């Protein structure tokens, strides 16, 4: 049973719908100062688009374009037609602001509701949104989706674990949205409070907003005895509700009635084959207020070839492996933080938090990994701890080709964030 007829479209129907919506998007986008000028310069008109593949005739849009045209340069209608704004979570430079018409908000809520319905959440569920509200789209975006589906929706916001717990218990919450790093932190909070996470009535969680590994998902599922589904989105494409795991939990269906999906080689900008990792490029084809065409997300993923057993033909993307801009270069080796996480989280002795610190040591750059370890290991003697340290360092070497310094620290001692986790601290005096 589908929540939304668009979930059940065939490939041919989707292609036709995409072509039609892309053409309308170009027409709409040209009303904005940014695309109006750009398309005039490139001789692009709505007639440029005959089939969905013609999307490649359009120039790419970058984060820098959004910054250069901040705040209103991409609006395709007057500012008085907009009813909401959000901003991306970037901590440096000019933020990117995204604007929505009333209709856009409705579309977004219905996409989000579609995701939640797909994993079995129903109006009888009580839903607690444990992520930050405010400018972050994971607050209101998910909130309105849950309401659209008809759930009793609790806007708990981020942090304040004591209150989260009280709400979960008092209202018999059955489904939550929680950022994966906070889910692990919350689990250790419950442990300290002497509460078995499995005793909560919780059955399903939406986890996402930050890169995380399959190992982290498994941990969350086991600790709480729930099913946890990966949720992907970005403010530039509305926010959450862009791609979401189905009950198969094997890749995220990207809603192709609303977005055009491409994966390109970030260097050559040419499309890569299905199954090959590249940079995800997305186009809104169902947004009036601020259409964005061929946006370079900087997220690295691949299209999963083949059909999903669930029957939906909207193509699946693999979990995000990292961002083009979070690759670390150390001693000439390229490393993604998720490779480090994968090793750590597959080791039962390792606790829920870690931090990668890059430091300069004379002329050499070093990687230090601070790892929280479980309390029962921490009380062991130095020999046991030393052996664990060596084992972690060796496994890292296999995965990332360099041997990091490993520091074992007590459970709960590393800084934790209520929002997206910051996994890397770069203390190098000169960045390679």
User: Which lies closer to ligand AMP via its Cβ, residue 411 or residue 420?
Assistant: 420
Q: Are 72 and 79 in contact (CB under 8 A)?
A: yes
Please give the helix or strand (H or E) that residue 377 lies within, else none. Answer: helix 375-378
Length of the chain: 432
DSSP secondary structure code for residue 237 in this structure: G
Calpha distance 192→362 (Å, rounded): 41
Residues between 234 and 273 with contacts to Zn ion, criterion CB under 5 A: 246, 248
Give which of Zn ion, ligand AMP, none residue 210 binds (C-beta under 5 to 8 Å, depending on kind): ligand AMP
Contact with ligand AMP (CB under 6 A) among 6, 176, 202, 320: 320
- Beta-carbon contacts of residue 256 (< 8 Å; ≥ 6 apart): 14, 18, 314, 315
Residue 89 binds ligand AMP (CB under 6 A)? yes
User: Which lies closer to ligand AMP via its Cβ, residue 17 or residue 207?
Assistant: 207
Minimal distance, residue 240 CB to Zn ion, in Å: 18
User: Which lies closer to ligand AMP via its Cβ, residue 101 or residue 297?
Assistant: 297
Residue 235 binds ligand AMP (CB under 6 A)? yes
User: Which lies closer to Zn ion via its Cβ, residue 138 or residue 251?
Assistant: 251
x-or-dash string of contact with ligand AMP, 112-151, rule CB under 6 A = -------------------------x--------------
Nearest to 63 by CA among 100, 31, 30, 89: 89
Calpha distance 150→121 (Å, rounded): 10
Stretch that binds Zn ion, among 77-85, 284-292, 305-313, 389-397 (CB under 5 A): 305-313
Calpha distance 417→137 (Å, rounded): 17
User: Which lies closer to ligand AMP via its Cβ, residue 101 or residue 137?
Assistant: 137
Encoded tokens for 12? 């041919």
Q: What is the largest CA-CA distance in the chain?
A: 73
User: Which lies closer to ligand AMP via its Cβ, residue 100 or residue 232?
Assistant: 232
Q: What is the DSSP string of 59-98?
A: PPB-HHHHHHTTTTTT-SS-GGG--EEEE----SSS--EE
Contact with ligand AMP (CB under 6 A) among 149, 179, 234, 392: 234
DSSP secondary structure code for residue 108 in this structure: H
Calpha distance 285→234 (Å, rounded): 15
CA atoms within 13 A on the CB side of 92: 2
Residue 308 binds Zn ion (CB under 5 A)? yes
Residue recorded with tokens 């750590």: 344
Return the CA Rg of the chain: 22
Contact with ligand AMP (CB under 6 A) among 18, 25, 69, 88: 88
Residue 313 binds Zn ion (CB under 5 A)? no
Contact with ligand AMP (CB under 6 A) among 57, 67, 323, 428: 323
User: Which lies closer to ligand AMP via its Cβ, residue 233 or residue 404?
Assistant: 233
Give which of Zn ion, ligand AMP, none residue 310 binds (C-beta under 5 to 8 Å, depending on kind): Zn ion
Give which of Zn ion, ligand AMP, none residue 235 binds (C-beta under 5 to 8 Å, depending on kind): ligand AMP
Binding residues (CB under 6 A) for ligand AMP: these are 88-89, 137, 208-211, 230-235, 297, 299, 320, 323
Binding residues (CB under 5 A) for Zn ion: these are 246, 248, 308, 310, 312
């Amino acid at each position: 049973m589908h929540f939304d007829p668009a979930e059940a479209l065939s490939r041919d129907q989707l292609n036709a719908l995409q072509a039609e919506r892309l053409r309308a998007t170009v027409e709409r986008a040209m009303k904005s100062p940014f695309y109006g000028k750009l398309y005039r310069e490139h001789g692009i008109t709505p007639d440029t688009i005959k089939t969905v593949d013609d999307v490649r005739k359009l120039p790419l849009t970058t984060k820098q374009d959004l910054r250069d045209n901040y705040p209103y340069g991409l609006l395709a209608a007057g500012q008085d037609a907009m009813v909401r704004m959000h901003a991306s979570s970037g901590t440096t430079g000019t933020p990117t602001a995204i604007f929505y018409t009333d209709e856009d908000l409705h579309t977004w809520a219905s996409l989000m509701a579609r995701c939640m319905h797909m994993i079995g959440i129903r109006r009888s569920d009580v839903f607690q949104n444990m992520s930050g509200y405010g400018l972050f789209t994971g607050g209101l975006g998910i909130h309105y989706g849950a309401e659209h589906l008809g759930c009793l929706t609790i806007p708990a916001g981020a942090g304040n674990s004591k209150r989260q717990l009280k709400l979960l218990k008092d209202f018999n919450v059955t489904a939550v949205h929680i950022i994966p790093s906070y889910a692990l932190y919350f689990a250790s909070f419950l442990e300290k409070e002497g509460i078995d996470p499995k005793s909560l009535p919780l059955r399903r969680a939406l986890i996402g907003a930050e890169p995380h590994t399959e190992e982290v998902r498994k941990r969350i599922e086991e600790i709480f005895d729930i099913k946890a589904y990966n949720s992907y989105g970005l403010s530039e494409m509305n926010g959450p509700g862009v791609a979401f795991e189905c009950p198969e939990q094997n890749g995220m269906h990207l809603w192709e009635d609303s977005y055009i999906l491409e994966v390109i080689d970030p260097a050559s900008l040419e499309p890569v084959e299905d199954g090959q990792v590249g940079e995800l490029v997305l186009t809104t084809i169902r947004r009036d207020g601020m259409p964005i065409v061929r946006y370079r997300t900087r997220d690295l993923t691949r299209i999963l070839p083949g059909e999903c057993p669930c029957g939906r033909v909207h193509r699946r993307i693999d979990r995000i492996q990292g961002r083009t801009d979070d690759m670390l270069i150390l001693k000439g080796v390229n490393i993604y933080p998720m490779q480090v996480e994968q090793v750590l989280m597959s080791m039962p002795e390792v606790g829920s938090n870690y931090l990668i610190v890059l430091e300069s040591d004379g002329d050499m750059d070093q990687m230090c990994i601070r790892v929280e370890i479980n309390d029962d290991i921490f009380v062991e003697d130095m020999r046991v701890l030393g052996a664990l340290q060596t084992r972690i360092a060796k496994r890292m070497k296999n995965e990332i080709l360099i041997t990091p310094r490993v520091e074992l620290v007590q459970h709960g001692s590393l800084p934790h964030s209520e929002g997206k986790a910051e996994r890397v601290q770069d203390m190098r005096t000169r960045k390679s």
